[in-house]
């Protein structure tokens, strides 16, 4: 009976979402405070029921209720408890339930944290979120219900795909979904602004922290996924330009653009129409991602039995979202004024260039992802677009962007002088060119592209340091006071994130150019070497885990006769999927390189095949991703967002000393 | 491999007839006569698609077909065929679909031109907006009415 | 201003249309560029007799099917009754026994019947690559000249045979007949 409770809770949540998408909106139009207030209660109630629903599904997994079809196909008796719990999102139906739960959580968070927003605004935001919820909950209930029963249930479940029985599974999907779904909040703020006709610096200030937080989650989600693929799968790869990966990368690119364009909207009242458009596009791209991944249109060359019903449903949602929001946009956007004037060389113009480049990058990836589909649809042939294409196309767009990352923060709003910037930054430029130019020589042969990337990375870091130094002001002041100036969260956050990006650039440049990969055949006692490291196979063992057996190799890694690490790569055979052996790579990290061993197949006799990797600077990739997210988090925590909220009581046109002219938009 | 990870995460069925295996494709290590051959092999296996897999190169895939294709690339490389000849051989059998780097031809010129067109279009948009904004007369930051409100707030504080 | 609003709308509609068409598309249709080309060369042992060499010439001569199968492939097992019917109906079927074990394959054919005229034993998938095989089962139709005229990736079905394969075989046989008559006529004229 418990599973039916979960289903029931889901249906109740749908009812509440329906009410939430109508009542507050009507209230906001009529100016009825009571109707507007319902939004908050409905959002909270919806969250409660969605939590209940998710809890019920989790419970069904924990107690091995194999009469629930979804549990039977994604869990088994011996699966460790943690993977029973993560199996909740180990398949289509459950992951969708996690998706709607996350949506509910964002809705409740908005209802709770934005109480000081003007009530019309909050009511509209919640109503739009309610509409999104209706779509996704209905999708879950009608096409992908995780609570479906099979009677009689099997004695044991089929077990979760061994690939997913990994710590990465605990973090990756929830983080990714938090990011993906968070874009719905961004969208809701944009739509509320359009509906209410209120689009000023204050609006930008309200929606900015939400955007940044959603972006942080998306960044972390993508990074954890990449890290998971890197170590668990033993491919040594971390990004494959796969349609499914691109599906998460596209909204990340536009969300990054959005963060920067919101900065202009908040500080200078500019780029407003474009900011709204970006918010709409970003959200549409998340739905498009769901479509790509779940309908099987692009990835399913060999998926025999995908359900076209699901694809049609998501496509319907995408159509409604796009046409609905574009209609409102077309109706309202022309009334939104332009921002203040700015010169061709100013922070605005550079941020505009940033947005243009990010949009170009996003469109290029988008075209590369959908081009094969389009050709096929017109009967013009079947082609594949893969990593060689994306690598060739993406890098040239990114390099100028990296130059801007260093330049932007040191250039003034409205009008600046290139000569002045050059005077300030010429030493930084010189040091970057020299340091970046010499850096590759510490690892291997000199390559122009690698050197250029490293120059740009150094440039970003040095300009950030210089900017912070400048902000500290005169050395006559006490140190504490000077530090306090730099410790402004949004300022520090921006620079942290930029430095994080620089670290990632270093890692990509280094690993793409200098990684070493070698397949070898080893018998116990034999050695092989790669990139100056000697790998000795000491012995082979068999190990038993909670629900798997494994062959394990004991490999000693030495450099110049000194022991670096003892690595234990495994080849696992899961009880439920013995025909599908899994590689568990083993790696040793150091600040400037990873060494890493994967165990392959057993060859003749007691020889085994191994793949040895030397990966320079991989550590910088993950540290960079952490800094990127940390920077975003800091920026979102800036005091002025909270102050602004507390001060705003009535949605009057309220001049702000720090902002340009507030915009007059008909309400 | 990562794609199968995502796909299994989403419960998409895979084509079992293809001899699906989740393990890493590490077979018998291959030996070459010279560096150039090794480089050619390493490049080719990363640019050819495993045609029965969910978007994987034959380098990554553990499917049997991918192993066959790798072996064929290896044999042809050792026999002295150059990269173009090997790609041509695969294309004749599996179509352009097998190439992860699409060839430049009638149905792909738009694909290859698109980044340049986009960059050009982007630059144009940037220029037009910047010129437009620069030409805008400098307006006072606040209207009279707003200045009054500002004054009042200052007094209140 | 109008254009600026119209453009996103048009782009959106185009995208939605494309995705909709994509949904309805049969993404299983993998390309078969070999259709229209002569049967690729190969040299393999016969399944029944390791001493006997089979080449593409053994497949050529009359309109025939070439089936790629293996004992480990359950779809192949389920399409086999259809092949038995075709063979009984007088259509020659040649085969690649793909990535299989000789004993298992022979035992299987011994128990459940053998629709094949010639079987090339391809344990390492060598000819598989030459013939552009993706996965078992696959079926080719060769005309009398040995040109590949049709390829089916995946199992055959009765419907497919009636709709596509058999009419094609009829047509090819008619072509063959015409060609032979033409040759005869030429022969008569010359003599």
CA quadruple B78, B84, B88, B91: dihedral positive or negative?
Answer: positive
Which residue ranges make up each domain of chain B? 2-98, 109-156
Strands A586-590 and A593-602: antiparallel
Asked if B26's CB is within 8 angstroms of A601's CB, the reply is: yes
Residues of chain B with pLDDT > 90, as a percent, come to 44
- Taking only the tens place, the pLDDT of each residue in C11-63 is 889 999 998 888 877 555 677 788 889 999 999 999 999 899 999 999 998 99
Q: What is the rounded end-to-end Cα distance, in angstroms, of chain C?
A: 83
Range of the domain at A582: 516-619
Structure tokens at A492: 């520090």
β-pair partners for A543: A550
Sheet of strand C43-46: strand arrangement: C53-55, C43-46, C118-122, C93-98, C64-69, C138-142, C148-153
Distance CA A503, CA A454 (A): 9
Residues of chain C neighbouring A303 (CB-CB closer than 8 A): 27
**Residue C95, domain member (yes or no):** yes
- Taking only the tens place, the pLDDT of each residue in C114-164 is 999 999 999 988 898 999 988 888 999 999 999 999 998 888 899 999 999
Judged against a pLDDT cut of 90, whether residue C170 lies above it is answered with yes
Cβ A467 vs Cβ A432: under 8 Å: no
Judged against a pLDDT cut of 80, whether residue B12 lies above it is answered with no
**Residue C15, domain member (yes or no):** no
Distance CA A650, CA B57 (A): 59
Residues of chain C neighbouring A333 (CB-CB closer than 8 A): 5
Range of the domain at C163: 31-190
Choose the closest CB to B68 out of C33, C37, C129.
Answer: C129
Structure tokens at A240: 């494959």
**Residue C128, domain member (yes or no):** yes
Q: What is the pTM of this model?
A: 0.90
Judged against a pLDDT cut of 60, whether residue C1 lies above it is answered with no
Cβ A205 vs Cβ A640: under 8 Å: yes
Residues of chain A neighbouring C30 (CB-CB closer than 8 A): 301, 382
Residue A524 is given by DSSP the state T
Asked if A301's CB is within 8 angstroms of C30's CB, the reply is: yes
* Chain B residue whose CA is closest to C40: B93
Contacts of A439 (CB under 8 A, 6+ apart): A451, A454, A458
Q: Give the pLDDT confidence score for residue A415 in this predicted structure.
A: 86
Cβ A385 vs Cβ A365: under 8 Å: no
Nearest to B99 by CA among B120, B119, B73: B73
Asked if A297's CB is within 8 angstroms of C23's CB, the reply is: yes
- How far is C-alpha A339 from the geometric centre of its chain's CA atoms? 30
Asked if B17's CB is within 8 angstroms of C33's CB, the reply is: no
Q: Rounded to a whole number, what is the distance in Å from the CA of A126 to chain C's nearest CA? A: 26
DSSP string for C46-74: ESS-TTSEEEGGGG-SS-EEEEEE-TT-H
Count Cα atoms within 13 angstroms, Cβ side, for A613: 27
Residues of chain C neighbouring B19 (CB-CB closer than 8 A): 135
Among A242, A267, A277, A291, the strongest candidate for a mutation testing the B interface, having the largest count of B CBs within 10 A, is: A242
Choose the closest CB to C125 out of B68, B91, B96.
Answer: B68
Asked if A295's CB is within 8 angstroms of C23's CB, the reply is: yes
Q: Give the pLDDT confidence score for residue B143 in this predicted structure.
A: 65
Nearest to A328 by CA among A194, A127, A204, A203: A194
Distance CA B121, CA A54 (A): 47
Residues of chain C neighbouring A304 (CB-CB closer than 8 A): 28
- Taking only the tens place, the pLDDT of each residue in A412-451 is 988 889 999 999 999 999 999 999 999 999 998 999 999 9
Q: Give the pLDDT confidence score for residue B21 in this predicted structure.
A: 38
Nearest to A317 by CA among A131, A558, A169: A131
**Phi, psi dihedrals of residue C31, rounded to the nearest 5°:** -70, 145
Cβ contacts from A onto B, under 8 A: 239
Q: Rounded to a whole number, what is the distance in Å from the CA of C162 to chain A's nearest CA? A: 23
Structure tokens at A662: 């507030």
Residues of chain C neighbouring A308 (CB-CB closer than 8 A): 23-24
Domains identified in chain C, total number: 1
Q: What is the rounded end-to-end Cα distance, in angstroms, of chain B?
A: 63
Q: Rounded to a whole number, what is the distance in Å from the CA of C178 to chain B's nearest CA? A: 30
Strands A527-530 and A516-522: unpaired
Choose the closest CB to B17 out of C130, C131, C135.
Answer: C135
What is the rounded average pLDDT of the residues A336-344?
80
Distance CA A600, CA A521 (A): 9
CA quadruple B66, B71, B74, B79: dihedral positive or negative?
Answer: negative
* Chain B residue whose CA is closest to C138: B17
Q: Rounded to a whole number, what is the distance in Å from the CA of B85 to chain A's nearest CA? A: 19
**Lowest mean pLDDT: which of A498-512, A575-589, C168-182?**
A575-589
- Taking only the tens place, the pLDDT of each residue in B70-88 is 999 999 999 999 999 999 9
Domains identified in chain A, total number: 2
**Residue A104, domain member (yes or no):** yes
> Residues in chain B whose beta carbon is closer than 8 A to a beta carbon of chain C?
15, 17-19, 51-52, 64-65, 68-69, 71-72, 91-97
Q: Which chains touch B (3 or more CB pairs under 8 A)?
A: A, C
Choose the closest CB to C18 out of A295, A301, A377.
Answer: A377
Cβ A271 vs Cβ A261: under 8 Å: yes
The secondary element (H helix, E strand) that includes residue A567 is: strand A562-567
Distance CA A289, CA B143 (A): 45
Among C27, C74, C154, the strongest candidate for a mutation testing the A interface, having the largest count of A CBs within 10 A, is: C27
Strands C64-69 and C93-98: parallel
* Chain B residue whose CA is closest to A300: B54
Integer CA distances (angstroms), B87 to A138, B95, B109, in order: 48, 10, 19
Residues of chain C neighbouring A301 (CB-CB closer than 8 A): 27-28, 30
Residue A606 is given by DSSP the state T
> Residues in chain C whose beta carbon is closer than 8 A to a beta carbon of chain B?
30-34, 37, 40, 73, 75, 99, 124-126, 128-137
Judged against a pLDDT cut of 60, whether residue B4 lies above it is answered with no
- Taking only the tens place, the pLDDT of each residue in A212-251 is 999 999 999 999 989 988 887 666 678 888 888 899 999 9
Residue C165 is given by DSSP the state I
Judged against a pLDDT cut of 90, whether residue C173 lies above it is answered with yes
Residues of chain B neighbouring C131 (CB-CB closer than 8 A): 93
Q: Give the pLDDT confidence score for residue C2 in this predicted structure.
A: 63
**Residue A25, domain member (yes or no):** yes
Whole-number average pLDDT of chain A: 89
Q: Give the pLDDT confidence score for residue A650 in this predicted structure.
A: 44
**Residue C26, domain member (yes or no):** no
Say whether domain B2-98 belongs to CATH 1.10.8.60.
no
Residues of chain B with pLDDT > 70, as a percent, come to 74
* Higher-confidence position of A293 and A616: A616
Choose the closest CB to A349 out of B2, B60, B130.
Answer: B130
Distance CA B151, CA B141 (A): 14
Residues of chain B neighbouring A357 (CB-CB closer than 8 A): 122
Q: Rounded to a whole number, what is the distance in Å from the CA of B65 to chain C's nearest CA? A: 7
Residues of chain B neighbouring C134 (CB-CB closer than 8 A): 18, 51-52, 65, 94
Asked if C1's CB is within 8 angstroms of A334's CB, the reply is: yes
What is the rounded average pLDDT of the residues A375-402?
91
């Amino acid at each position: 009976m418990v599973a039916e409770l979960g289903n029931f809770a889901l249906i109740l949540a749908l009812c509440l979402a329906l009410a939430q998408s109508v009542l507050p909106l009507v209230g906001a139009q009529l100016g009825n405070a009571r109707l507007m207030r319902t939004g908050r209660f409905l959002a909270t109630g919806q969250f409660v029921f969605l939590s209940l629903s998710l809890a019920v599904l989790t419970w069904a997994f924990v107690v091995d209720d194999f009469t629930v079809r979804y549990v039977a196909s994604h869990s088994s008796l011996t699966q460790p408890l943690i993977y029973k719990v993560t199996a909740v999102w180990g398949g289509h139906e459950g992951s969708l339930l996690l998706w709607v739960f996350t949506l509910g959580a964002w809705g409740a968070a908005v209802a709770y944290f934005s109480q000081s927003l003007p009530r019309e605004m909050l009511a509209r935001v919640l109503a739009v979120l309610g509409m999104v919820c209706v779509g996704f909950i209905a999708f879950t209930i009608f096409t992908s219900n995780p609570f479906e029963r099979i009677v009689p249930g099997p004695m044991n479940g089929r077990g979760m795909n061994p690939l997913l029985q990994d710590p990465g599974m605990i973090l990756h999907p929830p983080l990714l979904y938090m990011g993906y779904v968070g874009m719905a909040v961004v969208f809701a703020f944009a739509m509320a602004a359009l509906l209410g006709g209120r689009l000023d610096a204050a609006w930008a200030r309200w929606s900015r922290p939400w955007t940044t937080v959603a972006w942080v989650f998306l960044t972390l989600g993508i990074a954890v996924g990449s890290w998971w693929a890197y170590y668990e799968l033993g491919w040594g790869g971390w990004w494959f330009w796969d349609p499914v990966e691109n599906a998460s990368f596209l909204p990340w690119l536009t969300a990054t653009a959005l963060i920067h364009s919101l900065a202009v909207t908040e500080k200078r009242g500019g780029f407003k129409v474009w900011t709204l458009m970006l918010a709409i596009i970003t959200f549409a791209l998340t739905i498009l991602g769901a479509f790509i991944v779940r309908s099987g249109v692009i990835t399913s060359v060999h998926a025999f039995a995908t359900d076209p019903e699901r694809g049609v449903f998501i496509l319907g949602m995408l159509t409604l979202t796009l046409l609905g929001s574009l209609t409102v946009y077309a109706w309202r956007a022309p009334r939104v004024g332009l921002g203040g004037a700015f010169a061709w060389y100013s922070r605005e113009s550079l941020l505009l260039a940033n947005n243009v480049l990010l949009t170009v990058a996003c469109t290029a990836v988008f075209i590369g992802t959908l081009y094969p589909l389009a050709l096929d649809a017109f009967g013009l042939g079947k082609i594949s677009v893969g990593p060689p294409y994306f690598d060739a196309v993406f890098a040239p767009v990114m390099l100028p962007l990296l130059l801007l990352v260093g330049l932007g923060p040191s250039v003034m709003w409205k009008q600046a002088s290139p000569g002045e910037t050059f005077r300030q930054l010429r030493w930084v430029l010189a040091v970057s060119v020299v340091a970046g130019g010499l850096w590759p020589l510490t690892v291997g042969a000199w390559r122009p592209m690698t050197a250029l990337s490293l120059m740009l990375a150094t440039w970003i870091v040095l300009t950030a340091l210089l900017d912070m130094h400048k902000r500290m002001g005169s050395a006559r002041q006490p140190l504490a006071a000077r530090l306090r100036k730099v410790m402004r969260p949004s300022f520090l956050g921006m620079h942290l994130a930029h430095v994080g990006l620089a670290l990632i650039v270093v890692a990509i440049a280094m690993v793409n150019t200098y990684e070493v990969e070698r397949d070898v055949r080893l018998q116990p006692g034999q050695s092989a070497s790669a990139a100056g490291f000697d790998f000795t196979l000491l012995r082979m063992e068999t190990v038993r885990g909670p629900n798997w057996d494994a062959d394990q190799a004991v490999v000693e890694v030495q450099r110049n006769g000194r022991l670096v690490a003892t690595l234990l790569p495994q080849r696992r055979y899961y009880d439920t999927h013995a025909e599908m052996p899994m590689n568990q790579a083993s790696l040793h990290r150091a600040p400037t390189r990873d060494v890493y061993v994967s165990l392959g197949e057993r060859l003749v006799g007691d020889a085994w095949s191994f793949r040895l990797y030397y990966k320079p600077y991989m550590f910088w990739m993950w540290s960079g991703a952490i800094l990127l997210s940390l920077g975003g988090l800091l920026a979102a925590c800036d005091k002025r967002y909270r102050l602004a909220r507390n001060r705003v009581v009535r949605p009057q046109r309220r001049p702000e000393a720090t902002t340009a002219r507030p915009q007059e938009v008909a309400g | 491999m990562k794609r199968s990870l995502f796909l299994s995460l989403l419960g998409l069925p895979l084509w079992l007839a293809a001899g699906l295996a989740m393990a890493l494709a590490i077979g018998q290590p291959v030996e070459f006569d010279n560096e150039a051959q090794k480089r050619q092999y390493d490049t080719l296996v990363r640019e050819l698609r495993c045609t029965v897999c969910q978007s994987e190169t034959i380098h990554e895939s553990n499917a049997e077909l991918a192993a066959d294709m790798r072996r064929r690339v290896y044999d042809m490389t050792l026999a002295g065929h150059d990269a173009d000849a090997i790609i041509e051989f695969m294309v004749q059998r599996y179509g352009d679909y097998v190439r992860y780097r699409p060839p430049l031809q009638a149905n792909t010129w738009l694909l290859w031109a698109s980044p340049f067109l986009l960059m050009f279009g982007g630059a144009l948009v940037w220029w037009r907006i910047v010129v437009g904004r620069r030409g805008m007369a400098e307006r006072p930051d606040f209207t009279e009415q707003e200045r009054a409100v500002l004054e009042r707030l200052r007094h209140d504080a | 201003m109008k254009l600026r609003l119209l453009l996103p709308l048009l782009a959106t509609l185009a995208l939605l249309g494309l995705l909709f068409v994509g949904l309805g598309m049969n993404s299983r249709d993998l390309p078969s560029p070999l259709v229209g080309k002569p049967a690729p060369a190969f040299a393999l042992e016969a399944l029944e007799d390791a001493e006997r060499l089979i080449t593409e010439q053994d497949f050529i001569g009359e309109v025939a099917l070439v089936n790629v199968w293996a004992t480990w492939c359950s779809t192949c097992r389920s399409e086999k009754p259809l092949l038995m019917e075709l063979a009984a109906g007088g259509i020659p079927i040649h085969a690649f026994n793909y990535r299989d074990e000789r004993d298992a394959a022979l035992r299987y054919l011994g128990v459940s019947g053998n629709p094949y005229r010639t079987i090339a034993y391809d344990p390492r998938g060598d000819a598989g690559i030459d013939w552009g095989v993706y996965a078992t089962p696959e079926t080719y139709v060769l005309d009398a000249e040995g040109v590949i005229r049709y390829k089916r990736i995946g199992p055959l079905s009765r419907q497919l045979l009636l709709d596509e394969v058999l009419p094609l075989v009829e047509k090819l046989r008619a072509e063959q007949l015409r060609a032979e008559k033409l040759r005869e006529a030429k022969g008569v004229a010359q003599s």
